[in-house]
Structure 1
Amino acid sequence: MKKLFSATLLLLASTSLASAEGTLQLFNWGNYTSPELLAKFEAETGIKVTVTDYDSNDAALAKVEAGGSGFDLVVPSANYVPIWAEKGLIVPLDDSKLKNKGNIAPEWMDVAWDKGRVYTVPWQWGSTGMAVNTKVYGGDINTSDVFLNVPPELVGKINVVPEMNDIVNLAIMWAGGQPCTEDTEVLKKARDALIAAKPNWISMDYGATEKLSNNDWAASVNWNGSTMRARLANPDVKYGYPKEGYVLWMDSIGVLKDAQNVEEAYKFIDFIMIPENAAMISGFARYANGIAGSDAFMPEDMKTAPEVVIPEEFKAAGRFLPTCSAKAQEYMTAIWTELQK
């Protein structure tokens, strides 16, 4: 999903985007696209990629659904891919134009959210957990109590990223439920915990990489790659996997139905499935990808990083979010709306 949102666009994007030979419009999560990758793609193909940022799945969906976005490619999270497909906003891929599709690792090929990879190919995947400055707090970081029962050392020093699906489902799992539950007792427990905890948070904001790095925040619910980037700048930052259950996600790239630069879009998708290029994406944002053979080109510090390589003892607690039912989505939205007040 994720993310590392930056209000500044990676590359300047025009508000009125139009088709032009040798150009491509990518709509992606902020601070998530490797500039080195874009420079290499342009050098090899002559195609200039303009990246426009978004900060949530819902924001991206609403923007494109409104029509006239001018974008060619989008990168939704796993639980949103079926929504994009059902709404007809992304189109089935023409595999004849994707000679590198066979590079998708087998475990990421026949995924629940896109069987046989009809609509999308992998971008990056990771988890949502707890980033904590262990110099400030020395207790257990592998629990959602870090943000739902805030330890005294972290009161007024912990941020919560404003990503509804991640935060509400973390609370649901903490309350003993499964993601996208319709169990009202579990939902009430999760809702009450979130509302009670909020006064102890410093903010609900993006930018955790920078603010954990420079000690503006002592902790944050955060994504693993962002946390690794923070740790490289501030060795006191550690990443925790909530034992009650934590979110796993994969963001995948697809072609929009109204794409104007279709051939360029296919060239880009094929390009990112070359192992060396997939490793560039990962090396920048610090998340794993779904391309076989890319490990050989990954930065050495990612090959054993605890934020990237999930420790065996925490693997079973990870959950990929399903696409929620309309009722479950309604409940979550109600909780989230109340939390924003």
Structure 2
Amino acid sequence: MKKFLSSTGVVLACVAPAMVAHAAGSLNLYNWSGYIAPDLITQFEKETGIKVNIDNYDSDETLLAKLKQGGAGYDIAVTGQNMVQVLARQGLIEKIDAASIPGYNNIVARFRKPQWDPKGEYSVPYLWGTMNFAVDASVYNGDINSMKVLFDPPAPLRGKINMFESADDAIALAAIEADVPFCSEDPKQMQKVLDVLKQQKPFVKTYSSKAGAIRESLVSGEISMSAVWSGTAQRASDLKHSIRYAYPKEGSLAWVDNVVVPNGAPDLDNAKKFIAFLLTPKVAAMNTNFLKYQNAIDGADAYVADDVKHAPELSPPAGEKLVFKQACSEAAIRLHDRLWTALLK
């Protein structure tokens, strides 16, 4: 799902260098918290005899810092499409020759050699979706399909908003509202993005990028609107039917999370076995049914539950503009850094 800004010293200083123990017949996975179906892990372990150890991170900044420290013994990591190029450029992930892995041809054609990995050297798609915002219609039942609702909210929602604490995600949404390229290197353009975020700030109750916390806060009524990922929104609406997911007329931010192998992975063979497992239709559907995100595997739809398959959060309206984030230049990343610091001071 998600998210990259920079590798500042502050981030590095906050990341503990804990190492993951590696034993024969094991696989060490680094992933977002709760971002894989538990039954999937159980089935993989049963079929292969390989013990899966899972460690979690809360932002791409943390992921980048951990891999820069030496990978901490991970065999597999999950990361967003805009991070794949960054990790490859810095020599932090292995070339895996995806086309040679069993199940590669199950990948939907558009995702086999995508813009962020045009030769299919480093990654395979994991899940994909959109990232907009959700509103509790019992609090505000007006038209929500505009970014202005998030950044200049109507009175019933003011003071009841959660915004992403990930600079990368918050800036990406604000850039759509400001009609500015996400990777702009123009300080004047990025000032427009900062103005949008500053306008919103007085109405924000919390800044959080923790999917579980966002879902629980929406369901409990602690907040009435939040920037959110499509799958999290669906899981929230399953629990509280008044929660609605927006598809802004300005465009929806789309993302693709990918499986990569950190440089120096202790067990490359086990990593490739796990990737091959993820590329099977039934397994991909297992993840979609649990996490409520689209997968990129042909044939998986046959195993996806109807209530998930037809959920509005997984079905952007016809003609909806999807804006996929790209990997930014170092100059653009520095601008993002300065913008976020200016917003929070």
Q: TM-score, normalised by structure 1?
A: 0.92
Q: Is the 8 A contact 2:37 2:287 kept in 1?
A: yes
The Cα of 1:15 is off from its aligned counterpart by 4.0
Q: Equivalent residue for 1:331? A: 335
- Distance in 2 of aligned mates of 1:94 and 1:241: 36
Q: Equivalent residue for 1:49? A: 52
SS in 2 for 1:252: strand
- Distance in 2 of aligned mates of 1:229 and 1:132: 14
Q: Is the 8 A contact 2:2 2:60 kept in 1?
A: no
Q: Is the 8 A contact 2:98 2:104 kept in 1?
A: yes
Q: Deviations over 1:33-59 (max 9, x none)?
A: 110100000010111111111111121
Map residues 44-123 of structure 1 onto 2, 5 A cutoff: 44-67=47-70, 69-95=72-98, 98-123=101-126
CA gap 1:95/1:123 in 2 versus in 1, 3 angstroms = closer
Confirm whether residue 240 of structure 1 aligns to residue 243 of structure 2.
no
Report how many residues are paired. 329
The Cα of 1:2 is off from its aligned counterpart by 4.4
Confirm whether residue 39 of structure 1 aligns to residue 42 of structure 2.
yes
Confirm whether residue 128 of structure 1 aligns to residue 131 of structure 2.
yes
Confirm whether residue 175 of structure 1 aligns to residue 178 of structure 2.
yes
SS in 1 for 2:133: strand
One-letter amino acid matched to 1:266: K
- Distance in 1 of aligned mates of 2:135 and 2:344: 23
Q: Is the 8 A contact 1:2 1:32 kept in 2?
A: no
- Distance in 2 of aligned mates of 1:96 and 1:331: 37
Q: Is the 8 A contact 2:98 2:122 kept in 1?
A: no
Q: Is the 8 A contact 1:166 1:247 kept in 2?
A: no
Q: Equivalent residue for 2:164? A: 161
Q: Deviations over 1:179-209 (max 9, x none)?
A: 2122333211210121231121110012211
Deviation larger for 197-206 or 37-46: 197-206
Q: Deviations over 1:221-254 (max 9, x none)?
A: 1000000000000000010022223311000001
Confirm whether residue 190 of structure 1 aligns to residue 193 of structure 2.
yes
One-letter amino acid matched to 2:343: L
SS in 2 for 1:247: strand
Q: Is the 8 A contact 2:71 2:263 kept in 1?
A: no
Q: Equivalent residue for 2:12? A: none
Q: Equivalent residue for 1:152? A: 155
CA gap 1:259/1:310 in 2 versus in 1, 3 angstroms = same
- Distance in 1 of aligned mates of 2:18 and 2:326: 33
- Distance in 2 of aligned mates of 1:118 and 1:239: 35
One-letter amino acid matched to 2:333: Q
Aligned sequence identity (%): 37
- Distance in 2 of aligned mates of 1:47 and 1:290: 25
One-letter amino acid matched to 1:41: F
Q: Deviations over 1:128-161 (max 9, x none)?
A: 1011001101122112212211211011111012
One-letter amino acid matched to 2:145: N
Confirm whether residue 214 of structure 1 aligns to residue 220 of structure 2.
yes
The Cα of 1:95 is off from its aligned counterpart by 4.6
One-letter amino acid matched to 1:168: I
CA gap 1:245/1:226 in 2 versus in 1, 3 angstroms = same
Q: Is the 8 A contact 1:37 1:277 kept in 2?
A: yes
Q: Equivalent residue for 2:206? A: 203
Q: Which runs of 5+ in 2 are unaligned?
A: 4-16
Deviation larger for 269-278 or 186-195: 186-195
Q: Is the 8 A contact 1:130 1:141 kept in 2?
A: no
Q: Is the 8 A contact 2:125 2:256 kept in 1?
A: yes
One-letter amino acid matched to 2:342: E
